[in-house]
Amino acid sequence: RRALHVAAVAEAEKTAATTRGGAASVPAPVDIANKLRYLFGRNGDYTNADAYHGTAWSVREKLIDSFNKTHEHWRKEDPKFIYYLSAEFLMGRSLTNTVYNLGLQGEYADALNQMGYEMEKVADAERDAALGNGGLGRLAACFLDSMATLDLPGWGYGIRYKYGMFKQALKNGYQIEQPDIWLTSGNPWEVRRDDVKFEVGFGGRVERRKVNGKEVTVWTPSEKVIAQAYDNPIPGFDTPTTSNLRLWDAMPLTEFDLGAFNAGDYDRAMLDRERAEAISAVLYPNDSTPEGKELRLKQQYFFVCASLQDVLSRFKAVHGTAFESLPDKACFQLNDTHPTIAVAELMRLLVDVEGLDWDQAWTITTKCLNYTNHTVMPEALEKWPVKVMAKMLPRHMEIIEVINEGWTRWLAGHLGDLKSEERAKRIAAMSIIHENPWNKEEMLVNMAYLAVVGSSAVNGVAAIHSNIVKDEILNDFYQIFPSKFQNKTNGVTPRRWLAWCNPELAALITDTLGTSEWINDTEKLAGLRAYASDKSFQAKWSAVKKAKKAKLAALIKKIHGDDVNQEALFDIQIKRIHEYKRQYLNVLSIIWRYKQLKKMSPEERRKAVPRVCVIGGKAASAYDMAKRIIRLVTAVGDVINRDPDTKDLLRLYFLPDYNVSLAETIIPAAELSQHISTAGTEASGTSNMKFQMNGCLIIGTWDGANIEIAEETGVDNVFVFGVRAEEINQLRKERKNFKTDPRWDELMRDIEGGMFGDKDYFKPLVDSVNNMKVGNDWFLLANDFAAYLEAQEEVDACYKDQAEWLRRSIMYTAGSGKFSSDRTIREYAEDIWHVKPSRPSA
Ligand code: RUG
């Protein structure tokens, strides 16, 4: 390998001698070797990880050239910008995406080949940037890709967590969490901006002072930190546009307290640094303690404050103090309630710092902000205790009180026709500050209400979810401002989630459609419908799936040491572990399948459809029940996978540390994927769209985006089961009389009786779905159980008819056009942001 690479570099250097004069003109092998030599002090005999770093630092220069060009263009044009404020960006790896999006894949793959490396293995050495928990953070990442691809002037703003999403390991089948130390080997995909930093304050006191005869409010924080900007260029595909994700790192105001150090107080000398750095240290610290809660609010304010100051300072550099035109130049999308403190912060900056009067500032603020709701789960709709807010952000608490006074006063006028009792009830129900229903002593700030009142547009993320937002969660507000409420069904980037993670399928599609334009215009995938029943096309389609299954089988072998039957149906459920997502229901059906297989004669077994079931996902560290579900998966897998009677017909594996990169391997290999949340609980789901794009059939409930996916794919092509969202409330009321299926009872007895060991540990799990009399089984697993087993039988029957299965598989990809995040972003740009494309010249 060393000889190969020395020869390749020497050969390339000959050309380099004549073309040198800019990083972009140095041939890739030379550039990679140079990067390794001069940045890392390495000379030959590189590992794949070395080759990754050399390649990444080389690609980075081209990325930055494109970034600079784009931003020069945007500076000149001064278009309106969209700023996507999000506490999470789940970016995953960058190398593959960057070389593909910049059109450099061939050049770098060749360079690495000449040097004796394979791009795929080299790319595998990159650590995921996991600055997000799940769907919401990944959606933000897909949106950035689409914004850049569509040439929309827009940036993401978030936090540069030092430790991202924890690494999940299994110890004896139980989840353990390890820190995600992702920055230790340097990050080639970011640029530290030493000239972009802002002060962010916390705590302290608020005073009124007279300045030039005018009363002004002065907030003197008791603690200040510096927000330091790091830019992460975001390359669009098939365009010269490279936009930006600006992430903030928290630093102390003073580097080091030398006085304390000299006086021998070493701990105090370091204190400021530690306190400041804690703010951007960890993604969503466990918020079950008051300290944890405070830190989370601190994080939210930290990045919002820095981002708004940053935007205003750029605005002022061009437009001075003509703030009335701010809404023509900037708009902000609040990704869930996490950045909602922006409502109060923009008011503070405009009123206290810039001296605007309240009403003018309020008009500007509400024109600039928009809010996306991503959940119906009450526990995820953030509410901060007034006490916590007042202590940490005393001025913001005052501002929120004034906003609420104005709002409730306006409401009183608006609802003037109602009887006073009814009016008071309605006002109390919509007050931004309200009592904690579980603790009358405590007052809460309802961040969703603040977001609705402070925004121009409010949207849900799938049609059914937007209806639930309008009809239930925010119905009072909807009745008052019906036109504020919109739907923007989520989407995913077809680049990362089809073209780059499944290049074999992408090549087949391009070949068949005679164009690769579908990558940017996914509606063109509909052209595949014409080939859905074509035998020779089906054979090619199936060959790609088989190759991807072989890759996943190799991964299972690497992790679990087992060979799996690659002819089996690959059945996948990957997502955060949560009771509402019902991985538990999946495990129950697997146990049922196992028991049926055990009872079968050899003759019957020969007719059974073999399955390899894979479950993956992380449980929040404080989410006890979710951790028990993981243990149930591993315990059931331990029994099933070793049973000589059934192991050729059924396997169950838990794949640890599910993340973006793992998804890129799993999804192309999947034949059946499970999206089985209780109807009305999953706002949208986005992995369902990724599976669909890759020709994977779906078994699912009538929930979230499953519904629209079914409509686009053909409802008969989807295995739909279970109760509907409209029935849920009634069914919950009727729990006490619910008669469980005898098969369900049998499974409960099995788990409780220790069929999979650990029976004490599984007891709460059994109880959680089993004692209907006390209203358990909130997510109605028992109600859907029989229908789910039936749907699974349909799956088996369909899989036996491979021609039909393949036809459906092709119909899924063909029907996935709607679920490109390009479509979603176009809708946001047109209906909410009013931002227009602005493309630099190539
Ligand atoms: O749970 C939702 C998903 O249904 C949705 O697809 C995704 C993107 O819209 O957001 C997820 N989500 C919601 N993640 N966090 C929350 C609540 O903060």
Q: What digits encode the pLDDT tens for the residues 414-468?
A: 998 889 999 999 999 999 999 999 899 999 999 999 999 999 999 999 999 999 9
Q: Which of 338, 684, 688, 708 has the most ligand 1 atoms within 8 A of CB, as the residue to mutate?
A: 684
- Catalytic residue selected from 246, 575, 651, 675: 575
Task: For residue 375, give the ligand 1 atom closest to its CA.
Answer: 13
Does 275 qualify as catalytic in the annotation?
Answer: no
Dihedral class, residue 646 (left if φ above 0, else alpha if ψ from -120 to 50, else beta) = alpha
Alpha helices in 474-607 (DSSP H): 475-480, 494, 503-513, 535-560, 583-599, 602-607
Tell me whether residue 503 is in a domain.
no
Ligand 1 atom nearest the C-alpha of 134 is: 14
Helices (H), strands (E): how many in the chain? Answer: 34, 24
- Compute, in angstroms, the gap from residue 580 CA to the centroid of ligand 1: 12
How far apart are the CA of 437 and the centre of ligand 1, in A? 25
Please state, as a whole number, how many other Cβ atoms lie within 10 Å of the Cβ of residue 17: 8
Contacts of 254 (CB under 8 A, 6+ apart): 272
Q: Which atom of ligand 1 is nearest to the CA of 576?
A: 1
Cα(135) to centroid(ligand 1), Å: 5
Give dist(CA 280, CA 535) in Å, integer. Answer: 55
Atom of ligand 1 nearest to the CA of 135: 7
Q: Other C-beta atoms within 10 Å of 695: how many?
A: 28
Ligand 1 centre distance from Cα of residue 460 (Å):
10
For residues 607 and 727, membership in a common domain is answered with: yes
pLDDT at position 23 is 46
Closest CA to 683 of 704, 707, 702: 704
Q: Whose CA is nearest to atom 3 of ligand 1?
A: 685
572 lies in some domain: yes
374 is catalytic: yes
Residue position matching structure tokens 């997510």: 779
Q: Give Cβ neighbours of residue 595 (< 8 Å, ≥ 6 apart).
A: 750
| Domain co-membership, 45 together with 169 | no
Do residues 484 and 457 touch, judged by C-beta distance below 8 A?
Answer: yes
Residues 165 and 309 in one domain: yes
Can 242 be counted among the known catalytic residues?
A: no
**Rounded to the nearest 5°, which phi and psi values hold at 146?**
-70, -40
CA 553/CA 543 separation, integer angstroms: 15
In terms of C-beta density within 10 A (0-12 exposed, 13-18 middle, 19 or more buried), how is residue 441 classed?
A: exposed
Of all protein residues, the one whose alpha carbon is nearest to atom 10 of ligand 1 is: 136
Q: Exactly one of 37, 275, 434, 576 is catalytic; name it.
A: 576
CB neighbours of 40 closer than 8 A, spacing ≥ 6?
50, 53, 54
Q: What is the dihedral of CA 332, 335, 341, 346, to 10 degrees?
A: 0
Give the pLDDT score at 819. 99
Q: Which of 375, 459, 466 to mutate to test the pocket of ligand 1 (most atoms within 8 A of CB)?
A: 375
Helix H or strand E segment including 354: none
Instruction: Let me know if 35 is a catalytic residue.
Output: no
CATH number of residue 674's parent domain:
3.40.50.2000
- The answer to whether residues 66 and 236 touch, using CB atoms and an 8 Å cutoff, is no
Atom number in ligand 1 closest to CA 377: 17
Which ligand 1 atom minimizes the distance to the CA of 685? 6
Distance CA(595)–CA(639), nearest Å, equals 12
Q: Is residue 764, in this structure, part of any structural domain at all? A: yes
Q: Is the dihedral of CA 62, 67, 70, 71 positive or negative?
A: negative
Is-contact 50 42, C-beta < 8 A? yes
Q: Is-contact 155 127, C-beta < 8 A?
A: no
Residue 439 lies in a domain: no
Q: Are residues 61 and 188 in the same domain?
A: no
Nearest residue to 738 via CA among 725, 754, 723: 723
Question: Same domain, yes or no, for 186 and 326?
Answer: yes
Q: Compute the distance from residue 249 Cα to the ligand 1 centre, in Å.
A: 25
From atom 18 of ligand 1, which residue's Cα is the shortest distance away?
380
Q: Determine, yes or no, domain membership for 813.
A: yes
Residue-wise DSSP of 67-113: HHHHHHHHHHH---EEEEE-S-EEEE--HHHHHHHTT-HHHHHHHHH
Round to whole Å and give the CA distance between 607 and 602: 9
d(CA 640, CA 194): 56
Structure tokens at 268: 């105090």
Domain range for 6: 2-77+101-123
In this structure, the residues whose C-beta lies within 6 A of any atom of ligand 1 are 134-136, 139, 336, 374-375, 380, 461, 490, 682-686, 704
Claim to verify: residue 58 and residue 176 sit in the same structural domain: no
CA dihedral of residues 254, 255, 261, 267 (deg, nearest 10): 90
Count of structural domains, the chain: 3
Residues of the chain with pLDDT under 70: 1-6, 8-10, 12-25, 285-289, 772-775
Ligand 1 centroid, distance to 155 Cα (angstroms): 21
Compute the distance between CA of residue 725 and CA of residue 462 in angstroms, rounded to an integer: 14
Task: Name the residue type at position 638.
Answer: D
DSSP state of 282: B
Clarify whether 551 is annotated catalytic: no
Joined tokens for residue 245: 């994700």
Kindly name the residue from 73, 296, 374, 465 that is annotated as catalytic.
374
Distances (CA, A) of 604 to 25, 309, 598, 600: 66, 69, 10, 6
CB atoms within 10 A of CB 310: 21
Q: Tell me if ipTM is over 0.95.
A: yes
Buried b (16+ CB within 10 A) or exposed e, 722-741: bbebeebeebbeebeeeebe
How many A from CA of 684 to the centre of ligand 1?
7
Closest CA to 4 of 118, 121, 116, 108: 116
Of all protein residues, the one whose alpha carbon is nearest to atom 8 of ligand 1 is 136
Same domain for 203 and 151: yes
**Residue 198, strand partner residues:** 227
Are residues 485 and 553 both part of a single domain? Answer: no
Query: Residue 367 burial (CB < 10 Å; 0-12/13-18/19+)?
Result: middle
Tokens of 809: 């598989």
Query: Tokens representing 11?
Result: 């050969």
The per-residue pLDDT for 4 is 65
> Minimal CA–CA distance to 541: which of 719, 808, 799, 797?
808
174 belongs to a structural domain: yes
Quote the CA–CA distance of 751 and 763 in Å, as a whole number.
8
Instruction: Determine, yes or no, domain membership for 167.
Output: yes
Q: Please, is 48 exposed, middle or buried when counting C-beta atoms within 10 Å of its C-beta (0-12, 13-18, 19+)?
A: middle
Among 133, 136, 338, 461, residue to substitute to test ligand 1 (most atoms within 8 Å of Cβ): 136
- Measure the CA–CA gap between 802 and 811, rounded to whole angstroms: 14
CA of 99 to the centre of ligand 1 (A): 29
For residues 113 and 156, state if they share a domain.
Answer: no
Both ends of the chain: CA-CA distance in Å? 37
Do 139 and 115 lie in a common domain?
no
- Active-site residue identified among 162, 470, 495, 581: 581
- Please indicate whether residue 14 is annotated as part of the active site: no
Whether 534 is covered by a domain: the verdict is no
Examine the domain organization and report whether 197 and 275 are in the same domain: yes
Residues 116 and 134 in one domain: no
**Neighbouring C-alpha atoms within 13 Å toward the C-beta of 538:** 15
Cβ-contact 336, 455 below 8 angstroms:
no
For 624-673, the DSSP string reads HHHHHHHHHHHHHHHHHTT-TTTTTTEEEEEESS--HHHHHHHHHH-SEE
Nearest CA to ligand 1 atom 15: 136
Q: How far is the CA of 502 from the centre of ligand 1 (A)?
A: 25
